[in-house]
Structure 1
Amino acid sequence: MARFSISGVSVSGIAACVPKQVISNYDYDLLNDKERRLLVKTIGVETRHVAPKYTTTLDYACAAAEKLFEETNCDRSEIKLEIFVTQSRDFYLPSTAVIAQDKLGLPQDCMAFDIGLGCSGYTYGLSVAASIMKSTGIKKALLLVGDVSTVTCAYNDTSTYPLFGDAGTATLLELSEGNQWSFDLHSDGSGEEAIKIPHGGMRHLLTEESLIERKREDGNTRSDLHLQLDGLSVFNFSITKVPKSLNSFLDEINADRELIDFFVMHQANKLMNETIRKKVKFDPMKVPYSLSQYGNTSSASIPLTIVSELGNQLDVPRNLLLSGFGVGLSWGHALIETNGVICPKVLEI
């Protein structure tokens, strides 16, 4: 297991940006009214913000970053590390992070690279950024995290279409005194089939056949360029390995649950998240949700939830437990101390 602690890094601010277009699951005409209501009750998603065609994660993440620079009065010339966590890159190459460096006017001596993770991406991104900052002495870093997932969801696939929304986020990190952070990171590639887009990569190049939508064994209709989700496998993984590793992590670092102010999970779906919450024994008042309004926004879900649900409560020191889990399979937890985080309201463009 990869468990480690880092001190001396702080979160100065977090900003989030979502598309203006809102789609309601109560209007999803593939299901009847009774089925729609049951779906919403189970997954917890009423509405989702959906990106228009040709608008990308880069656009939303950069808009969030610009808002963050404005609110924190950050001198962007001081940022020497920029990491972009996404599974919906603008291009195969070059790296989206490098494009963002230019688009945001960051200096050319800024290190920039992508991390190709989804649901666990925010916890991994924080760990990588903090590790580099501590080992190099870089004083300011920008962590961009987000995904435009809806473009990969087939309308005729009830397992994915009503679940996912789009968002981009930006987190400003700075070297500081104190602030102990602990991380616990895991991976299990044997579960690659659980959440996957089969074609379009180098293993299965795009062909005409890739575009054909077919009815699958699960009863849903999609192409091989659409996201496939094995709900039962993901559910079983999430309610077994995630709480087990979380409890082990908290026990090993001697964390007092009473001193943890908020437990922010990846917004997978309500049933799954509530099962995890109960297994790790957290008061529901400490567990915020953004699912109802934004859906599952992949890598962006943790920072988006922090901004939308906790933004006005982070102006004082807080202890935050973060947990991301899903595609890969990959999962990671972080217990971080904050000391005043600027969180402007969620931006819509």
Structure 2
Amino acid sequence: MNSAKISSVSYYLPERILSNSDIAELFPEWSVEKISAKTGISTRHIAATDEFASDMAVNAAKKLFHENKIDPNDIEYIILSTQTPDYYLPSTACIIQDKLGVPTSSGATDITLGCSGYVYALGLAKGLVESGQVSNVLVLTSDTYSKFINEADKSVRTIFGDAATATLVELDAAGESISGITYGTDGSGAKSLIVPNGGLRKGTAISPRSEPMLRELNSNGYDLYMDGPDIFNFTIKVVPEALGKILTKADVRKDEIDLFVFHQANAFMLDHLRKKLEIEDEKFIVSMSDIGNTVSSTIPIALSKLVEEDKLKPGMTVLLLGFGVGLSWGGMVVKWR
């Protein structure tokens, strides 16, 4: 039977850096120390004015190709997870196919998911490979949430950063290495994390509190809104349930997992989850202090950094779990090859 594996992961970060000192200058009531304590973040990377999702994804893919001697001509399918596409249409993945020089015989599609997007994209890639449709998939994540954020809204400006990642999923002769895939969706929580303006339908219709004037903001045309307490309560409820389902479906025990790589939402939430789930500190990855919450890119960046630091080695078992905007969640167990 055909099996799919993660062969390699790379990431790209924009050049501009927004530090806690920069934010504290704009909002004197929030000190550098307060921002760090509340979020666990010290700096975040911000896309340039003329830098968009396709640009960042292309940079991440080129880095992956260079580091792993991958020929773009060998890529058979592209999946891009983004909530900040270049255009309403065409698909940003199609633009990326052309920019990368990937053959026109390849498939290319976007999926519009955020914090759980990487897991969903991996699940789709696994299906494409194991069903024999293609022998490899280039999974990309790229989000520029900074373009949605109202500069006067410190509640989200302190959290989100921009980034892109590239992952190659291909056939694995050694046996199944991606298992226990679990998904979840609760669209009733769509109102809790939303860009109310700039789309075809006003978001204030389902999320009245996202109205910029009610938040004492002058609209920037997008005005990303997040109900922090709602997102926190959702996460604390669904993550333990999802973790149990993943372990059961993968037929592994919690103590057999070498590393737990969750969506890097913020340090406070991650610490609460770790304690609630009784996961050893050394197995629970927190990797966001210098990049912030990069939405769909948090998990693959964490994986890439673990490889760079020689903390993720072949044969190790890793549990991935993404959760957030949608509301949506998804997880899986990966045997690292």
Answer whether TM exceeds 0.5 for this pair. Answer: yes
Q: Displacement, 1:20? A: 1.2
Contact 2:315 2:335 in 1 (8 A): yes
**Residue of 20, 27, 38 corresponding to 1:25:** 20
Asked if 1:84 is matched to 2:93, the reply is no
For residues 252 and 71 of structure 1, the distance between their equivalents in structure 2, rounded to whole angstroms, comes to 34
Q: TM-score normalized by structure 1? A: 0.88
Q: Displacement, 1:150? A: 0.8
Q: Give 3-state SS (helix, strand or coil) of 2:289's partner.
A: helix
For residues 136 and 202 of structure 1, the distance between their equivalents in structure 2, rounded to whole angstroms, comes to 38
For residues 279 and 254 of structure 1, the distance between their equivalents in structure 2, rounded to whole angstroms, comes to 22
Q: Displacement, 1:8? A: 1.3
Q: After superposition, what is the alpha-carbon deviation per residue over 1:222-261, rounded to whole angstroms, capped at 9, x for unaligned?
A: 5561100000100100111122221233245432222212
User: What amino acid is the match of 2:226?
Assistant: L
Q: Percent identity?
A: 37
Q: 1:6-45 residue pairs with structure 2 within 5 A? A: 8-28=3-23, 29-32=25-28, 35-45=31-41
Q: Give 3-state SS (helix, strand or coil) of 1:91's partner.
A: coil
User: What amino acid is the match of 1:187?
Assistant: T
The aligned counterpart of 2:272 is 275
Q: Displacement, 1:179? A: 2.9
The structure with more strand, counted as a fraction of residues: 1
Moved segments of 4+, more than 6 Å:
none
The aligned counterpart of 2:311 is 313
Q: After superposition, what is the alpha-carbon deviation per residue over 1:299-325, rounded to whole angstroms, capped at 9, x for unaligned?
A: 111111111244333342221111110
**Residue of 136, 153, 157 corresponding to 1:140:** 136
**Residue of 160, 168, 177 corresponding to 1:180:** 177
Q: 1:67-82 residue pairs with structure 2 within 5 A? A: 67-82=63-78
C-alpha distance 242-12 of structure 1, shift in aligned 2 (>3 A)? same
C-alpha distance 35-92 of structure 1, shift in aligned 2 (>3 A)? same
The aligned counterpart of 2:231 is 234
For residues 121 and 174 of structure 1, the distance between their equivalents in structure 2, rounded to whole angstroms, comes to 19
Number of residue pairs matched by the alignment: 326
For residues 250 and 129 of structure 2, the distance between their equivalents in structure 1, rounded to whole angstroms, comes to 22
User: What amino acid is the match of 1:248?
Assistant: K
Q: 1:324-343 residue pairs with structure 2 within 5 A? A: 324-339=322-337
For residues 290 and 26 of structure 2, the distance between their equivalents in structure 1, rounded to whole angstroms, comes to 20
For residues 302 and 123 of structure 2, the distance between their equivalents in structure 1, rounded to whole angstroms, comes to 19
Q: 1:297-312 residue pairs with structure 2 within 5 A? A: 297-311=294-308, 312=310
Q: CA RMSD in A?
A: 2.0
The aligned counterpart of 1:347 is none
Q: After superposition, what is the alpha-carbon deviation per residue over 1:137-162, rounded to whole angstroms, capped at 9, x for unaligned?
A: 41121001120111111121121011
**Residue of 45, 48, 51 corresponding to 1:49:** 45
For residues 235 and 67 of structure 2, the distance between their equivalents in structure 1, rounded to whole angstroms, comes to 36
Q: 1:60-209 residue pairs with structure 2 within 5 A? A: 60-177=56-173, 178-182=175-179, 183-204=181-202
For residues 277 and 2 of structure 2, the distance between their equivalents in structure 1, rounded to whole angstroms, comes to 25
Contact 2:122 2:139 in 1 (8 A): yes
For residues 55 and 166 of structure 2, the distance between their equivalents in structure 1, rounded to whole angstroms, comes to 12
Contact 1:267 1:289 in 2 (8 A): yes
Q: What runs of 5+ residues in structure 1 fail to find an aligned partner?
A: 1-5, 206-212, 340-349
C-alpha distance 289-221 of structure 1, shift in aligned 2 (>3 A)? farther
**Residue of 256, 262, 267 corresponding to 1:265:** 262
Q: 1:233-252 residue pairs with structure 2 within 5 A? A: 233-252=230-249
Q: TM-score normalized by structure 2? A: 0.91
Q: What runs of 5+ residues in structure 2 fail to find an aligned partner?
A: 204-210
